[in-house]
Amino acid sequence: MMDLQPALNAMQERFGVRSQTYRGEISLHVAPNRIIPVAQALRDDFGFDRLADLTAVDYWPQEKPRFHVVVQLYHTEARQYLRLRTALEGNAPGLPTLTGVFLNANWYEREVWDMFGIRFEGHLDLRRIIMPADWEGHPLRKDYPLGYEEVQFTFNYDEILTRKPQPME
Amino acid sequence: MTETRNIEISELRHLVSERALEGETMLLNMGPQHPATHGVLRLMLELDGEEVVNCIPDIGFLHTGVEKDMESKIYQKAEVMTDRLDYLNPIGNNLVFCLAVEKLADLDVPARAQGIRVILAELTRLSSHLLWLGTSGLDVGAMSLFLYTMREREIIQDIFELCSGQRMMTTYVRPGGLWRDIPVEFEGAVRSFIEIMPRRIEEYESLLNENPIFLERTAGIGVLTYENALRWGATGPIARASGVALDIRKAMPYMGYEQYDFDIPTRAEGDVLARYLVRVAEMRESLKIIRQALDKLPYGPVNSNNRKYVPPPRSEIGVSMEALIHHFKLWTEGFTIPKGAIYAAAESPRGELGVYLESDGGSKPYRIHYRTPSFAALQLMPLLAKGHFVADLVAIIASIDIVLGDTDR
């Protein structure tokens, strides 16, 4: 197995990222404004050539910043994964899109926008992907109600809307 | 009162060509209810005559909110939902969930359980490829093949029923091991299956490999080049048919895959035919793995001895107070997992199946995300469909082998 330590040290020097190892998996904590150069450097200089997964986690209400975007990169030669974590401030955050670096980030980012309401700036096709186009709210947020909701009909829609839990925007 | 919103064509302006806005090309919906889309997939097609100019996949019709739902269920209950994602690979889905839980909890799995897991995972791969072979044969007009592949698939389902009592949604693989040991009839059933199977695969090949209609419909259709396979991060048979020798079983062995001798079949062409050939070759490799795993299968327990995660055997509950407490605790509030995050990946019949699991130290997953191969494969659809006829589109959808339960989650 190839040693990734030189790559991590170089990343630390160049971008000031913090690395953390847990159960043999390496995570890099990246500032939101550095995500593009970091991903670019990892792809071009250190051989992390495949984006395996991109998702997000919501830590509301116990933690601030609330959202983390989590990216899994794969190194074909070293046969290892590397995780990038980016903490995002605010209830309707944004992050530069990774589609310029990894083409297949496209749908993953659309899914994160759909499910968490995190905007990816510069994304060419940021529409909802799984929920219907006119859906309100972002279901995987922790403040999105999970069941036990009154059903709204056309005749009492507004009445029930007033006492429904409202997702923060 | 909120109004229903109409989606205007101008909102899709960036996805269609200029000519569509002037009405020169036709926009056509294929699906969501269409026999060739293998589920509820909607493709918005921009057509110039019979030729596809642009293809815009629209998914989400089978969204069941599994990821959200699992956040409110203890791990044992959450696992039951994973079968339903990719319903052609239920044991693979269970397996990758258990891999994530075991990795995060640092839980050991006995060698016998690992061997049985490998046998079952490879049987699932075979059953998934058999269904794929039958239905994609149907899509390009080879009707009789479906009957033969379903015949063999039935044998596999009987084996699943034999060990778990269920034909499809088994939930047989559990964190720390298996639900219970395999019955004595299992070995004989699997052995007789791998005995007849090579002959049957030859039978399928004799129906397709030199069939001029099949070759005409598949050769040179939906080509994914080596460069594009890399740039788009393709995995599984799709990548291997384009010459990318990526297989998680070889690259990052789990469940003791490193002890088995098998090859990664690859092709260079990257078309529909190459994907067919790769999958059929993979079926032979799976048989090889099953044979080796059966020969090597050790005796011993099938569950970890760690009682904080694995319920005690029934026989102990009557005699040990501690066992009774563990049993009660595990089935009421479940087990807790140390705080942390993990990404576990396995090779499903469709490609890399990953689970990102995050625990807050409680007994329910704080966040669980399934990185599903069908979702990733469907993303390639616009690329593959461009320039082909609508009839070829059917062959392309079949060749990327998507399961909509897996895409929409």
> Which of A103, A131, A141, A143 should be substituted to probe chain B, the one whose Cβ sees the most B Cβ atoms within 10 Å?
A103
Contact criterion met (CB below 8 Å) for A107 and B382? no
Domain count, chain B: 2
Name the nearest CA neighbour of B154 among B138, B137, B134: B134
Instruction: Quote the pLDDT of residue B294.
Output: 92
- Whether B211 and B159 map to the same domain: the answer is yes
Res B193 pLDDT > 90: yes
Given B254, B289, B305, which residue is the final one in a domain? B305
d(CA A146, CA B71): 10
- Whether B159 and B287 map to the same domain: the answer is yes
Q: What is the mean pLDDT of residues B350-368?
A: 91
Give the alpha-carbon dihedral of A74, B236, B404, A71, to 10 degrees.
0
Res A146 pLDDT > 80: no
Instruction: Quote the pLDDT of residue B5.
Output: 66
Q: Tell me which residue has tokens 């659309």.
A: A110
Res B1 pLDDT > 50: no
Q: What does the DSSP 8-state code read for residue B88?
A: T
| Cα maximum dimension of chain A | 65
Phi, psi values for residue B302, rounded to 5°? -110, 5
B374 within domain boundaries:
no
Amino acid identity at B387: G
Name the nearest CA neighbour of B152 among B187, B192, B100: B192
- Whether B133 and B27 map to the same domain: the answer is no
B93 within domain boundaries:
no
Q: Residue B3 — very low, low, confident or very high, per pLDDT cuts 50/70/90?
A: low
B1 contact residues in A (CB cutoff 8 A): 154, 157-158
- Whether B51 and B126 map to the same domain: the answer is no
B232 contact residues in A (CB cutoff 8 A): 103-104
- Whether B270 and B170 map to the same domain: the answer is yes
Instruction: Quote the pLDDT of residue B159.
Output: 93
Given B305, B322, B338, which residue is the final one in a domain? B305
Q: What is the mean pLDDT of residues B319-338?
A: 90
Instruction: Quote the pLDDT of residue A141.
Output: 87
DSSP string, B203-270: HHHHHHTT-HHHHHHHTTSS---HHHHHHTT--HHHHHHTT----HHHHS--TTGGGS-------SS-
Q: Which pTM value belongs to this model? A: 0.89
Instruction: Quote the pLDDT of residue B274.
Output: 92
Q: What is the mean pLDDT of residues B159-171?
A: 90
- Whether B169 and B47 map to the same domain: the answer is no
d(CA B395, CA B272): 7
Res A41 pLDDT > 50: yes
Strand order in the sheet with B42-48: B26-30, B42-48, B51-58
DSSP reduced 3-state for B406? helix
Q: Residue A76 — very low, low, confident or very high, per pLDDT cuts 50/70/90?
A: confident
Query: Residue B340 and residue A22: Cβ atoms within 8 Å?
Result: yes
Instruction: Quote the pLDDT of residue A136.
Output: 80
Q: What does the DSSP 8-state code read for residue B13?
A: T
Q: What is the mean pLDDT of residues B160-173?
A: 90
Name the nearest CA neighbour of A83 among B369, B65, B343: B343
Percent of chain A with pLDDT over 90: 17
Query: Residue A129 and residue B60: Cβ atoms within 8 Å?
Result: yes
Q: What is the mean pLDDT of residues B183-200?
A: 92
Contact criterion met (CB below 8 Å) for B218 and B271? yes
Q: Which chain B residue shows the shortest CA-CA distance from A125?
A: B14
* Lookup: tokens for B350: 């469709």
Instruction: Express each pLDDT in A91-119 by its tens digit.
Output: 888 899 999 899 889 999 999 999 998 99
Phi, psi values for residue A95, rounded to 5°? -150, 140
Instruction: Express each pLDDT in A25-40 by its tens digit.
Output: 888 888 888 889 888 8
d(CA A75, CA B211): 40
A132 contact residues in B (CB cutoff 8 A): 60
Q: Tell me which residue has tokens 């005796």.
A: B299
A124 contact residues in B (CB cutoff 8 A): 14
- Whether B41 and B122 map to the same domain: the answer is no
Instruction: Express each pLDDT in B296-320 by its tens digit.
Output: 899 988 988 888 898 888 888 889 9
Residues 6+ apart with CB under 8 A from B224: B232, B234, B238, B241, B242, B270, B380, B383, B384
- Whether B6 and B149 map to the same domain: the answer is no
Given B253, B277, B305, which residue is the final one in a domain? B305
- Whether B29 and B174 map to the same domain: the answer is no
d(CA B17, CA B14): 8
- Whether B53 and B106 map to the same domain: the answer is no
ipTM associated with this complex: 0.87
Three-state SS across B252-308?
A: CCCCCHHHCCCCCCCCCCCCHHHHHHHHHHHHHHHHHHHHHHHHHCCCCCCECCCCC
Name the nearest CA neighbour of B150 among B170, B164, B173, B131: B131
Instruction: Express each pLDDT in B373-385 by its tens digit.
Output: 999 889 998 899 8
* Lookup: tokens for B135: 């239905």
B144 within domain boundaries:
yes
B12 within domain boundaries:
yes
Residues, chain A, total?
169
From residue B189, give the alpha-carbon distance in Å to each of B36, B123, B162. Answer: 34, 12, 9
DSSP reduced 3-state for B37? helix
CATH number of the structural domain spanning residue B147:
1.10.645.10
- Whether B148 and B294 map to the same domain: the answer is yes
Instruction: Quote the pLDDT of residue B4.
Output: 63
Q: Smallest Cβ distance to A103: which of B231, B378, B409?
A: B231
Dihedral sign from CA coordinates of B285, B91, B394, B203 = positive
Instruction: Express each pLDDT in A117-138 by its tens digit.
Output: 899 988 888 888 898 887 888 8
Name the nearest CA neighbour of A17 among A4, A32, A3: A32
- Whether B178 and B245 map to the same domain: the answer is yes
B67 within domain boundaries:
no
B314 within domain boundaries:
no
Q: What is the mean pLDDT of residues B146-175?
A: 91
d(CA B234, CA B247): 11
Long-range contacts of B16-22 (CB under 8 A, 24+ apart): B16/B46, B16/B53, B16/B54, B16/B56, B17/B46, B17/B53, B17/B54, B19/B48, B19/B53, B20/B46, B20/B53, B20/B54
B104 contact residues in A (CB cutoff 8 A): 23
Number of H helices, E strands in chain B: 18, 8
Q: What is the mean pLDDT of residues B254-271?
A: 90
Phi, psi values for residue A18, rounded to 5°? -105, 130
B265 within domain boundaries:
yes
B199 within domain boundaries:
yes
Range of the domain at B14: 2-58
d(CA B383, CA B42): 16
Q: Smallest Cβ distance to A125: which of B7, B15, B60?
A: B15
